[in-house]
Structure 1
Amino acid sequence: MAAAGSGHENWSSRSAFILAAVGSAVGLGNMWRFPAEAGENGGGAFVLFYIFCVLLIGLPVLLSEVLIGRHGQASAPDSVRKVARDSNASGGWSIIGSLGVFAAFLILSFYCVVGGWVLYYVGVFVSDLFQTGLTGGAFDGRAAEDIEGLLPGLFGNGGLMVGLNLGFLAVTMFFVARGVSSGIEWVAVYLMPIFFLLFLGITIYGAFTGNFSEAVSYLFTFDFSKLTGEVMLAAVGQAFFSLSLGVAGMITYGSYANRDTNLGQTSGIIAGADTGVALLAGLAIFPIVFAAGLSASAGPGLMFQSLPIAFQAMPFGSLIGLAFFVMVFFAALTSSVSLLEAPVAFLKDKVRISRAMATILVGAGAALLGVLASLSFNDMAEFYPLSFIPLFAEANFFDALDGVTAKLFMPIGAILTCIFVGWIADARLIDDENGLDGALHQTWRALVRYVCPIALFLILLAGIFPETAAIVMEGIAARFSRFG
């Protein structure tokens, strides 16, 4: 649907916008990274500070991004430029949108590689379901070492890695090419409810068949002695990355929002849903892992290695394993659609070409980088593209893409967004867009001006100078520990 008198598309309803934005935020960061981070950082202390960071950092930046998009009604760079122009500020601030679009493109190229891993495990559990039946545990008769070795085995197969990556990217391109209402909105309106139903079902399954009480205790026992500087920094980073901030996605999605949408309320719903999914991910995964006697601190291998082993000992293990990875696939797809839409919207507006052609061009570029990222686990494992930069000297192609975006582009873009919205943009324009009144508005403005830039600078500092950031955070952690 296009806005009256323009070629710009719009969401068909506020609920469609919410579902699409929640889908953008809810992805592998919630399903894979949050349980891994919580497991590696002591559980409850990390969870409490994570929620604190979502409220004080994630939500204010999220609202800042969607209001830029809604006012601009264009691609991310053009939306920032319009806000700047209407505020009598330099159009050079459009660099915020351009940086976000470029970051989204780079992230898409390696995000689809991980999406390919999810597709692989969907196939593994489909095959296993035919072999073991509905009621038995997964991988009947196979040793835990064999199950754990599935992921390294995949990494060693360059052709399969490339094929899965391109397959996941192709599905993403299909929906983006169909447009906002027929493609992106369709994914949100139909897949997100299915995602939540599967998620709820698996959480209930874990509550009855797993060690649910231990998982609850682990996630929600707030031991302040475990709130170290490292834990706090991990929580700040997770709150930021989980909401897909700094990659132009929320600016782009905000540009499709109608004028009657209350952005303050909508942003609160999006942040709340994203946080709820992250917590539910812990409640879905940890009961199953604990029941199998496995460690919660398995890191990134928690979802792709520990969990499949845990399903072996569970009733209906193959069926639940398949449902779990189908659910993760839906979450990954809604996020990859958002990552692709930001550069597609930019290219479509900038060059004045069709959406389909813009999707093909951006997708082709992402495919090329994705092939190199896929091969960095095998044939190109010894190729270090940024070896001339000390910070990335030992990073292969996949890690270099991840490192440049997470350590530099995303936090820098978000810092500039806070400065722009908090200090540069016309206050009356911002007041008209944000949907907040009274104390809430004043609190949000103070957070965007002062608290968020400092917290985001710490994320940037941690990426470039981790030892310095650790010292700073240990000092902050010492002050927080007094509340314990």
Structure 2
Amino acid sequence: MSEVVERWGSRRAFIIAVTGAAVGLGNIWRFPWMVGENGGSVFLLLYVAFVLLLGLPVMVAEILIGRAGRRTPMQALTFLACEAGGSRHWRLLGLLGGITLFLILSFYAVVSGWSLEYLVDAFSGDFASRSPEEIGAAFDAFLASPGRVIFNQTLFMVLTMAVVAFGVGSGLERLNNLLMPLLYLLLLVLVGYAATTTGFGTALNWLFWPDPRAISFMVVLNAMGHAFFTLAVGAGALMAYGAYMPEGQSVPRAVVTVALLDILVALLAGVAIFSIVFSQGMDPASGPGLMFVTLPVAFSQLPGGTLWLGSFFVLLLIATWTSSINLAEPMVAMLHSAGLHRVTSALLIGIGVWLVGIPSALSFSWLSEVQPISDMTFFDLATTVPTDILLPIGGLLIAFFAVWVMDAQRAVQALGSNERFFILWRQVTRWVAIPLLILVLMGAMF
């Protein structure tokens, strides 16, 4: 179990990489419709609060395990558990994380393939000449076309795994350094455009002026679950990145920076999206279809809508591409550490994820009537089980390992911070984050 030899080229590269893993569908696709269906500003404020109380402590735990172990997730957990006199079976937590990442990436590729289709349609001006009913019908027709859906899914997987095959320095780091600043630039441009629309003020009021009447137990649970999902914690990806972390970098400072950047993307995306929605008098509670039906309808009715809608789907593609690349890396690294060539590892993971994603891709056409569990399709299962159940389980076990099993001195050293912060973090993780995670799991299961 030798230590990994690759490192991020700088502290900035590590922060950009972790931000790239965190920022994706959770911020730009899932966050807007979750806000829309859960009371607007109330959900937003709860989400930010749970990022701080739940997401950050677990994020610190996951990164410091990777940094302390300097190995792949399974090897790091084995090494640290044995060092502390614990069971070697903790390595299975790394396996659970790999399975979770595998399942998440399988539906990521499907939904991201939709953004590729819409990117072409948006810039071609197809939406400008269609009525709202025609746009909705066109989306349904696209989903019902297995060939088009699978083609886009395949193209997205090729784009993702081609970058991962080049490794940390040559692949991930270079692309992250290029695309992540571009993502924020596009977001700021879209928010600037949104500020010129009639719905801008309404969107700000709806997002940032809380209505206590909207609070409910389910809104609280949804906010907790989303705060956890959006930071990409609980699946071992950040554990792998912690192993690449440069010497001398402070884990707490890096984690706070990543969390702030992640929240900023969600806020900017919310302002841009809901300004357009409210300017056209449309319903913000449109559910998952908000991105692919409501927004094209709203943009199509605005001056220059073709350009702005196309820019939005470029933004979505960048977010999902960087996120999927950063989620795929730990799985490829695991195979690579077992002796396989990196290109071979990337090819095997890519083909496996693609195959597992096929049932999700066909859930709106050939397999639309197949419901393996209750009234859930394969797509429903793929988007629910790993995000709502496996991620919280993984996060709970990661947090428990870091504060109850791992050697305390090893943890202090890996944090790159003072002992007072370690004591504060450990107490918050033990008595706040872990109970909240148990609550999230109970809400998801019952």
1:279 to 2:276 alignment: no
Q: Deviation at 1:456?
A: 1.0
1:166 to 2:154 alignment: yes
Matched residues in 2 for 1:79 and 1:7: separation?
Answer: 10
Q: Deviation at 1:81?
A: 1.6
> Which of residues 58, 62, 81 in structure 1 aligns to 2:59?
62
Q: Deviation at 1:408?
A: 2.5
Gaps in structure 1 of 5+ consecutive residues: 132-138, 466-484
Deviation readout 1:352-388 (Å, 9 max, x if unpaired):
111100001111111111222211211012223xx4x
Counterpart residue identity of residue 268, structure 2: L
Q: Deviation at 1:6?
A: 6.5
> Which of residues 233, 242, 247 in structure 2 aligns to 1:245?
233
Could you say which residue in structure 1 is the equivalent of 2:144? 156
Counterpart residue identity of residue 281, structure 1: A
Q: Deviation at 1:7?
A: 5.8
Structure 1 residue matching 2:35: 3-state secondary structure: helix
Normalised by the size of structure 2, how large is the TM-score? Answer: 0.97
Could you say which residue in structure 1 is the equivalent of 2:40? 43
Matched residues in 1 for 2:118 and 2:170: separation?
Answer: 29
Matched residues in 1 for 2:139 and 2:39: separation?
Answer: 25
Matched residues in 2 for 1:6 and 1:420: separation?
Answer: 20
Could you say which residue in structure 2 is the equivalent of 1:393? 374
Equivalent pair of 1:70/1:258 in contact (CA under 8 Å) = no
Could you say which residue in structure 1 is the equivalent of 2:340? 353
Could you say which residue in structure 1 is the equivalent of 2:416? 435
Matched residues in 2 for 1:189 and 1:171: separation?
Answer: 17
Deviation readout 1:196-230 (Å, 9 max, x if unpaired):
11110001100112411111100111222322111
Structure 1 residue matching 2:285: 3-state secondary structure: coil
Structure 1 stretches (4+) deviating beyond 4 angstroms?
Answer: none
> Which of residues 318, 327, 335 in structure 1 aligns to 2:323?
335
Matched residues in 1 for 2:75 and 2:120: separation?
Answer: 42
Matched residues in 2 for 1:42 and 1:410: separation?
Answer: 25
Matched residues in 2 for 1:91 and 1:6: separation?
Answer: 18
Change in Cα spacing, 1:188 to 1:304, as seen in structure 2 (3 Å) is same
Matched residues in 2 for 1:323 and 1:48: separation?
Answer: 28
Q: CA RMSD in A?
A: 1.5
1:185 to 2:173 alignment: yes
Normalised by the size of structure 1, how large is the TM-score? Answer: 0.89
Could you say which residue in structure 2 is the equivalent of 1:318? 306
Q: Deviation at 1:125?
A: 1.0
Counterpart residue identity of residue 422, structure 1: V
Change in Cα spacing, 1:51 to 1:8, as seen in structure 2 (3 Å) is same
Counterpart residue identity of residue 25, structure 1: A
Q: Deviation at 1:341?
A: 1.0
Could you say which residue in structure 2 is the equivalent of 1:127? 124
> Which of residues 360, 364, 388 in structure 2 aligns to 1:407?
388
Q: Deviation at 1:460?
A: 1.2
Equivalent pair of 1:209/1:314 in contact (CA under 8 Å) = no
Structure 1 residue matching 2:195: 3-state secondary structure: helix
Percent same amino acid among aligned pairs? 39
Could you say which residue in structure 2 is the equivalent of 1:377? 364
Counterpart residue identity of residue 313, structure 2: F
Counterpart residue identity of residue 147, structure 1: I
Q: Deviation at 1:84?
A: 1.5
Q: Deviation at 1:330?
A: 0.3
Could you say which residue in structure 1 is the equivalent of 2:110? 113
Gaps in structure 2 of 5+ consecutive residues: none
> Which of residues 193, 196, 215 in structure 2 aligns to 1:227?
215
Matched residues in 2 for 1:59 and 1:7: separation?
Answer: 25
Q: Deviation at 1:259?
A: 1.7
Deviation readout 1:418-452 (Å, 9 max, x if unpaired):
11111111111111112343654332111211211
Structure 2 residue matching 1:191: 3-state secondary structure: helix
